[in-house]
Chains A and B, each alone.
Chain A
Amino acid sequence: MTTDTREPRVDEPSSAPTSLLRDRRRFGDSLFKGVATGSGTLILIILAAVATFLVGLSIPALTAPGDELPYGPFWSWVFPYAAGTVWAAALAMLFAVPVAIGVALFITHFAPRRLAQGLGYIIDLLAAVPSVVFGLWGINVLAPMVQPIYGWLNSTVGSWPVFSLIFGGQVSGTGRTILTVALVLAVMCLPIITAVTREVFLQTPRLHEEASLALGATRWEMIRQAVLPFGTPGLVSACMLGLGRALGETMAVAMVLSPGAGFHFQLLTSSNPNSIAANIALQFPEAFGLGRNQLIASGLVLFVITLIVNMAARAIVARRAEFSGAN
């Protein structure tokens, strides 16, 4: 059969003109789709491997009787570390989230337009500082700077009834307390939260901002009415990204914190609850046998904590989906 004919019917029994028939461009489509799907599936495999490894190596420590484990019974051993992890991260978020929202609002809605982008880059530079450098900075610069304030806080409000739970105890002379760690963690989360929040705030439809202004809203009222509600889901996911970093951060905690045994809420002492991640980093090199399993099991606990946080955030975002601005 000749192929150089100009009659479409020769090649194709269909009566449609050739220009409407499928041609080999579809091959590009299916190839591209296949590669994209493959990448997605690869993530499943990687995560399955991580999960298998984590759970598999944790089981010996979770099932062994408490007196056989080198660090003692698992749950009573891991609890102070888990509590310390959550406590430090929660404090960090307490400092970081309001500041991050403020910075994002300043850049998107308060600063002069011409400066806005440059100011954004400057804050992004914070994300460029590695955690080990924050560790050095925390010990050498921040801790000595805040120590006098700790001393003042401890001596003034440290003996008041409820305040003593937080500001009481023997104040640290070096400033290497869990509060300093929380401040360092807050600084580390700040650029992550700010970067995402800023993008989200910039996406607020102009129409909604103008609708609010036309009703006679001040700039702040416009932000409350149009910008913040629109940005809430994005804000929540930004905070989760930041919280994930704060929970899992290892080196800054390991370097700055002066750890002690057990868990308490006092922020200014020299015997602080350690975090799971920092504890693994400090102990793993010397651990062996069941000790390694026990440390990996504590890693699993940390993983589960971050997972719960993530799921909670997803639930919040999903519940608000009906009222979201996305189409």
Chain B
Amino acid sequence: MSGTFSSINTALSAIRYNQVALDLASNNIANANTDGYVRRRLVAGSVGGPTTPAMWSKYDGHGDGVRVVASQRMVDVLLDGRVRREHGTLSYLQTTQTVLKRLDDAIAEPSDNGVAAALQEFRSSWHDLANNPGGDAARQQVLGRAATLVQAIHSQLSNVTGEEADQRVHMLSLVSDVSSAAGDLAALNQTILSSKANGNDVADLEDQRDQLALRLSELAGAVTTVRPDGMYDVTVGGQSLVSGNTASSLTIASGITATGDSDGTPLTLAVTGPSGTTPVTGLGGEVGAVSDLLTTVLPGYRAGLDAVAKDLADTVNAQHAAGYDASGAAGGDFFSYDPADPAASLAVAITDTSKIAAASVAGTVDGNNADALSQTGNVESAYQRLVNSFGVEVSTLNSRTTNQQALAGSVDESREQQAGVNLDEETVNLMTAQRAYQAAARVMSTIDEVLDTLINRTGLVGR
């Protein structure tokens, strides 16, 4: 037989439980649009009799109410890992795409103003000179068109070098972002561990930590693993960045100076931690994208332009040297360049129109060397190949990004299914808790009335 007041306690436990349920639902609703918020679910447990049988007494109650077992944070660790991975790949692709798109627009082919058009006009000017080898106007036109061509190559090159300079500065800020995120994550690891031990609710801290882990994946393609004690370990490129409560920092080992200039060596990265500095490669995310751009993609295009400039200068110079200028002297170099840096240093070596070697017979107004110059080399096709391979790269990247976006979107959706707040659901929870609260209050007043009957209305016989 349970005590008289135990039913009041049962009702009280229900009121308390439903109070918590109301709090939780309202917190979920409040955070319905908070980034990184994972919905909580209240787990109830009924309070029953003692689990261990006693020798001299037995439990004769019918349940002693309800209690809060846990406030569950609805995460799926595997899904979170998947989200991080796909977002790391997506941010790699998007970063690369953004940069290459700018370059793609700047190349501006096919058009009437690009390098290809300048090459055609340069060739035409040799034809015109061949038609009129004695005319100063035709000679002036050759020099003018050559200058235009050099300028077109320079402006395309400066787009690439400008992009490289931008990305070096970008890299500096990325590296410090990674390091500070790693530091924050390690600190959170420690806070969560000790708060949990103290029995505090750490759900909000865990939300923050998950967001940091995602940010690290987007920044550097970091891989996060969960330790048995609940702390997160993070690695980048196979090197440990966060281990429990100790964080290392990502640093630039070579390639970029502190002011964002190139130091002439290839870009390399390293992880600097308590145990020293270890070189690291194969990063993903934004850092990986910028590093690939700086070490392969942009220098590759620059090398292509260099080859075009060198080919142009060499073939034109060779044919030019075979002819004779207006004074009958053999032709000198038409273009000048520094072999170490052909595209940037390409310039027209001739300023005097009479130095153009149009004639193939000395001391005449022959135009056959100018004609040969109009036919020499095949720079166009080298340039077309360069533009084509760049275009293929960008268009492949575009479709890969679109695919990856769809993939990341679907993974995000799965995560949202699990962790997102559904307002209808929370409204239902709210109503359920409200009704249960009302019923528990009703139980209380019922018991109260019962007791009232028992205390005030009994034993009145004969009064």
Q: Do A and B come from one complex?
A: no
Chain B interfacial positions (CB closer than 8 Å to A): none
Chain A interfacial positions (CB closer than 8 Å to B): none
